[in-house]
Structure 1
Amino acid sequence: MDHFTPKQTYSYLQEHPEAVFIDCRSEMEYMFVGHPIGSMMVPWYDGGDWELNPHFVGQVKKLAGANFEKRPIVLICRSGNRTIEAGEALERAGFKHVINVLHGFEGELDANHHRNSVSGWRVDGLPWEQY
């Protein structure tokens, strides 16, 4: 698994339009906190009990298509931790090029235990939207 900063990821996605950009946060996070433009939501954990999505790998395979193992898969979550687990699951399933976005969408905690001020996709000023 490769690990790119948000800015490196954005450049990579511009240069590799075949890459599949997966936001693996929960549906609530994706919709209400916002998400990178062009990302597709496939939760790793979701629901009221924060349950592991047993269909995650299959859902990503479907998005990646017939030659899934050859397509780059870019994963983003809140802070860059969930994507490690999700990426390892994809690699075990045969994906050959998985990229983890370091610091995720909201970044690390600051001194006051808040996100969105130290690092991450939004702090770096990269394109995002909110529903």
Structure 2
Amino acid sequence: MQHLTPKEAHTFLQNHPDAVFIDVRSEMEFLFVGHPRDSIHIPWNEFPDWEVNPHFLAQVRRATSVNRPLVLICRSGNRSAEAGLFLEQHGYSEVYNVLHGFEGPLDEHHHRGSLAGWRSEGLPWEQC
């Protein structure tokens, strides 16, 4: 798996229209916190128990094929890295993880969104 900064991921997606951009956060995060424009939502794990989504692989297979690049994003880059490793174990060879995710790491006040991440870098996003 390769890792891209949010800006590198945005450029990669613009240069590779065949790539599939997957937001692996929970439904609540995707809908209420916001999400990158043109991303599709397939949760890696879900509230309230945060267990791995047993349908994750099947949902990814419905959305794409093993020969297309996948770009994965989550809140901070951790869940998307886990999901990426899982997908590589199941035949996906071109998987990219977005470092710092959508919201970035915690700042000194334990808040996200100010240090790094897709949203704080001014990349296109929307909120439902």
Query: What SS is found at the alignment partner of 1:22?
Result: strand
In the other structure, the counterpart of 1:33 is 33
Identity %: 60
Q: Quote how far apart the aligned CAs of 1:102 are.
A: 0.2
Equivalent residue for 1:99, pick from 96, 112, 126? 96
1:55 aligns with 2:52: no
- Structure 1: gaps spanning 5 or more residues: none
TM-score (norm. length: structure 2): 0.98
Query: Matches of 1:22 and 1:69 in 2, distance apart?
Result: 14
Q: Unaligned regions of 5+ residues in structure 2, if any?
A: none
**Equivalent residues in 2 for 1:1-131, closer than 5 Å:** 1-64=1-64, 68-131=65-128
The CA distance in 2 between the partners of 1:44 and 1:69, in whole Å, is 18
- Cα shift readout 1:26-63 (whole Å, capped 9, x = no counterpart): 00000000000000000001031122101111111110
Question: How far apart, CA to CA, are the structure 2 residues paired with 1:81 and 1:23?
Answer: 12
Distance (whole Å) between structure 1 residues aligned to residue 82 and residue 58 of structure 2: 15
Q: Could you tell me how far apart the structure 2 residues matched to 1:29 and 1:69 are?
A: 27
| Post-superposition offset of 1:84 | 1.1
CA distance in structure 2 between the aligned counterparts of 1:3 and 1:103, rounded to whole angstroms: 10
d(CA) in 2 for partners of 1:32, 1:69? 30
Offset, 1:23:
0.1
What is the distance in 1 between the residues matched to 2:53 and 2:35?
A: 19
